[in-house]
């Protein structure tokens, strides 16, 4: 993996990506952003955003962004509401979900004869692809949790001694902060030992998976040629070169994937760029000021969508939980399935979500290969629900 040091032309590119996300974030209303609490403590959060770069025109457009560091525990998710509640509300993952919603909305527009600046129709099949002039980039204000941040955790830890699991099982994913000596393996959220367990893999693991499966999710992969991330942009102070290379690099933990191609998927590592553009709500390590984690989660989708959501406990804030149709986020699995059905009903014949996912043979096989390479990757248990 090519690492880019600060103060280079590529670093300026990273700054441009970051600035595009920050500008979009600062245009949003204050509701949902971190606050100063009544006791005087300031809140912090993580910001992430997907940016489209038009290479020919050298323009940057923030497609989706999110803030948040929350993850819903298995015990807190009503089994009757699977597919309606967002499990993983870390900023990076929400931004990716928002990006896929934007892709679906663009496809809907194209089918209705409206223009799109990020997708074009393929000539000989009823599918879509990205124009060659467009590349996509992810900015994150903190190092993604999991494998890419283990060395940072060691440096920040006061006692340098990680907590250990009592009943550790071989080939199982580790909790985020368990056993710092175990590197290159899958970890789950949340990282804290005193927090309830979830099904969600760490952001490092999910971003690594995108290097093979692409940015497209279960819904968009049926309609869109794989779109791979070109760069991941991180603040200079959170980049540990050895960790980044191990987690995301061509010679790191995913290296075996380079030898196997399951069309249309292929291992496409992204480049990691650094930036020095400050985010005002970051949890900066060089500050002596004590901060607390913001409980707010926010999602914004730009381009043809132009929708903003403040999310609490996996559903839209401000909507009564009893009115669940309105409480669902636009990026939850049920909502994405309903949009896919509206676009192309023939792709949504099975009402059971787990069975429906299995029908996408190429993606299913690619994911199985990925799971065999990533140590400890276990299938989630939250897909067995009826979405329609």
Q: Write out pLDDT tens, residues 230-287.
A: 999 999 999 999 999 999 999 999 999 999 999 999 999 999 999 999 999 999 766 6
pLDDT for 9: 66
Q: Write out pLDDT tens, residues 35-61.
A: 999 999 999 999 999 999 999 999 999
Is the confidence at residue 29, as pLDDT, over 70?
A: yes
The pLDDT of 327-355, averaged and rounded, is 95
For residue 19, the tally of other CB atoms under 10 A from its CB is: 16
pLDDT for 360: 95
Is the confidence at residue 301, as pLDDT, over 90?
A: yes
CB-based burial label for 62 (10 Å; 0-12, 13-18, 19+) = buried
Rounded Cα–Cα distance for residues 351 and 39 (Å): 49
Helix (H) or strand (E) run with residue 309 in it: strand 307-312
Strand partners, 61: 52
Catalytic residues: 92
- Is the distance from CB of 228 to CB of 211 less than 8 angstroms? yes
- Is the distance from CB of 369 to CB of 257 less than 8 angstroms? yes
| Helix, strand, coil share (%) of the chain residues, nearest 5 | 30, 20, 50
Number of helical (H) and strand (E) elements in the chain, helices listed first = 9, 16
Average pLDDT score, the chain: 89
Q: In Å, how far are 39, 89, 148, 283 from 293, measured between CA atoms? A: 14, 13, 21, 9
pLDDT for 115: 96
pLDDT for 164: 53
Rounded Cα–Cα distance for residues 304 and 63 (Å): 9
173: tokens are 């994913």
262: tokens are 């399951």
Query: How do the domains of the chain map onto residue ranges?
Result: 9-373
pLDDT above 90 covers a percentage of the chain that reads: 73
Q: In Å, how far are 13, 50, 224 from 10, measured between CA atoms? A: 5, 18, 29
146-171 exposure pattern, b = at least 16 Cβ within 10 A, e = fewer: bbbbbbbbeeeeeeeebeeeeeeeee
Confidence bin at 80 (pLDDT 50/70/90): confident
- How much is the pTM? 0.92
């Amino acid at each position: 993996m090519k690492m880019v040091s600060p103060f280079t032309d590529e670093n300026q590119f990273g700054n441009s990506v970051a600035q595009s996300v920050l500008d979009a974030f600062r245009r949003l209303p204050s509701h949902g952003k971190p606050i100063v609490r009544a006791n005087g403590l300031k809140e912090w959060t993580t910001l992430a955003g997907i940016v489209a770069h038009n290479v020919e025109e050298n323009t940057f457009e923030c497609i989706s962004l999110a803030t948040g560091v929350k993850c819903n525990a298995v015990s807190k998710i009503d089994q009757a509401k699977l597919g309606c509640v967002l499990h993983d509300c870390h900023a990076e993952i929400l931004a990716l979900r928002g990006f896929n919603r934007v892709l679906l909305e663009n496809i809907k527009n194209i089918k209705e004869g409206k223009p799109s600046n990020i997708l074009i129709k393929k000539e000989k099949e009823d599918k879509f692809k990205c124009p060659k002039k467009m590349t996509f980039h992810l900015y994150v204000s903190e190092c993604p949790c999991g494998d890419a941040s283990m060395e940072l955790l060691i440096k920040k830890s006061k006692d340098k001694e990680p907590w250990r699991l009592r009943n550790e099982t071989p080939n199982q994913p580790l909790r985020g902060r368990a056993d710092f000596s175990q590197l290159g393996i899958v970890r789950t959220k949340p990282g804290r030992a005193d927090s309830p367990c979830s099904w969600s893999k760490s952001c490092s693991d999910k971003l690594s998976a995108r290097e093979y499966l692409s940015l497209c999710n279960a819904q968009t992969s049926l309609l869109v040629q794989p779109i791979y991330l070109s760069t991941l942009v991180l603040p200079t102070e959170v980049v540990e070169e050895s960790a980044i290379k191990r987690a995301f690099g061509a010679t790191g933990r995913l290296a075996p994937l380079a030898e196997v191609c399951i069309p249309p998927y292929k291992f496409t590592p992204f480049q990691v760029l650094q930036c020095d553009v400050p985010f005002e709500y970051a949890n900066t390590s060089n500050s002596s000021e004590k901060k607390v984690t913001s409980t707010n989660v926010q999602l914004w989708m730009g381009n043809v969508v132009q929708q903003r959501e403040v999310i609490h406990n996996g559903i839209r804030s401000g909507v009564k939980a009893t009115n669940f149709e309105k409480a669902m986020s636009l990026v939850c699995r049920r909502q994405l399935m309903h949009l896919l059905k509206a676009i192309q009903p023939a792709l949504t014949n099975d009402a059971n979500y787990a069975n429906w996912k299995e029908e996408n043979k190429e993606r299913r096989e690619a994911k199985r290969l990925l799971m065999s390479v990533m140590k400890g990757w276990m299938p989630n248990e939250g897909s067995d629900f009826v979405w329609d």
